[in-house]
Amino acid sequence: MYIKEIKANAIALSKQLKEIVENEFLRDYKIIEAIPVIPGQYWEFKLSLLNVDFEKELTRSIGFLSGSGSLQNPNLSINDFFNNNDMVAEEFFSQDEYKVFESLIPLLKNLDEYESLGYSVTIHLNSFIIGGDEWLRQVCEEFILIIHLDEKNKDGICLGTMQSQRYKIKMEDSNQINFLIVPFDKCRYFNNYSRVEGYEDMKYYEYEVAFSFAGEDRELVDEIADQLRRMNVRVFYDMYETVSLWGKDLYTHLDEIYRNKSKYCVMFLSKYYKEKVWTNHERESAQARSFIEREEYILPIRLDDTEIPGIRRTTGYIDGSLFTASEMAGFIKRKVKGM
């Protein structure tokens, strides 16, 4: 019974996916039934029925996606592989806005009886290459996305991305320097790499900006931090670090952050800032870093005219009384992103 029903539904899903991909997608993709043999990059659709309680999964291939041009990746480039995966995921989510995957709903509903038996019914999209050696094939494989019925509304469809965060890494040998952009969990396949970022060979910092401020000025700082977070800027802000700070020796930990782990330090200078023990500790760590590198690292935002030890009046600053929180967040983003 299982083989017949799954096979029939797999065939129907394959036909519908072919209709969607070849008629609705903007880029030129094809769905093929046979396992690919020509060297290059491909994506496989799989129908999956997973029962967690019984640790049992039933799967069936429902077709292979192939692209044209650079999407074929005939040279088996690692960078092209993950860039192509990003483009494929972008295409799926773009088309989802136009509800093109709703035609899959009745076909997935046909498998409702398996849901009642404790199985979750999903369609997986996985990327892989044909060709290359075993090491390259392990690097160039990625779980792209998952398609399933909306758990709250069975008349809706959901797409979820399964891709891992990308890291830009630098590898040097005696002859050349190579840069790769790969999922963080693929870094283990490479030896002697360092993490970098930006268009140039810039050192990677855990935080693009660390905030140093007095608690009395938190309302403004909170608003700026929220704006930067929405702009995908990596911010060290204590309210975002509650769990990571729990139980740590804060004197040592904060010294490490303000001295070594941040690209820039934004100081919100005020009469309250001058009075606090912790802000003075943060300032001294930041100043030690600034002295060693002899480059701009401390970015002052003055909230009043209070003189702060070690912060010269000749240092360029932003007057916090002249700009909104949104404008100051924009200034910080442009600085840390090199824009």
Residue 232 above 70 pLDDT?
A: yes
Predicted local distance difference test score (pLDDT) of residue 339: 65
CB-based contacts of 169, cutoff 8 Å, min separation 6: 179, 180, 181, 182, 187, 190, 193, 194, 195, 196
Instruction: Name the more confident of 13 and 292.
Output: 13
Which alpha helices (H) appear in 118-209, and where do they start and end?
A: 134-139
CB-based contacts of 330, cutoff 8 Å, min separation 6: 227
Which residues, listed in sequence order, are joined to residue 169 by a DSSP beta bridge? 180, 195
What is the chain's mean pLDDT, rounded?
Answer: 89
Predicted local distance difference test score (pLDDT) of residue 2: 53
- The pTM assigned to this predicted structure is 0.69
The answer to whether 207 and 229 are in contact (CB under 8 A) is no
Bridge pairing between strands 142-149 and 166-172: unpaired
Predicted local distance difference test score (pLDDT) of residue 85: 95
Domain ranges of the chain: 2-163, 167-202, 205-337
Residue 1 above 60 pLDDT?
A: no
Burial class (CB in 10 A: 0-12, 13-18, 19+), 206: middle
DSSP reduced 3-state for 208: strand
How many residues can be counted in the chain?
A: 339
Give per-residue pLDDT as tens, 130-173.
Answer: 999 999 999 999 999 999 998 887 789 999 989 998 999 988 87
State the Cα angle at 334 between 222 and 250, rounded to 5°.
45
Bridge pairing between strands 262-269 and 298-302: parallel
The answer to whether 180 and 78 are in contact (CB under 8 A) is yes
In the chain, the N- to C-terminal Cα span, in Å, equals 61
Give the neighbor-by-neighbor strand order of the sheet with 298-302.
235-236, 207-212, 262-269, 298-302, 318-319
Mean pLDDT over residues 266-273, rounded?
Answer: 94
Tell me what percent of the chain is helix, strand and coil, each rounded to the nearest 5.
40, 30, 30
State the Cα angle at 88 between 167 and 141, rounded to 5°.
55
The answer to whether 59 and 143 are in contact (CB under 8 A) is no
The answer to whether 62 and 14 are in contact (CB under 8 A) is yes
> What percent of the chain lies above the pLDDT cut of 70?
96
CATH classification code of 205-337: 3.40.50.10140
Give per-residue pLDDT as tens, 38-74.
Answer: 999 999 999 998 887 767 888 899 999 999 999 999 9
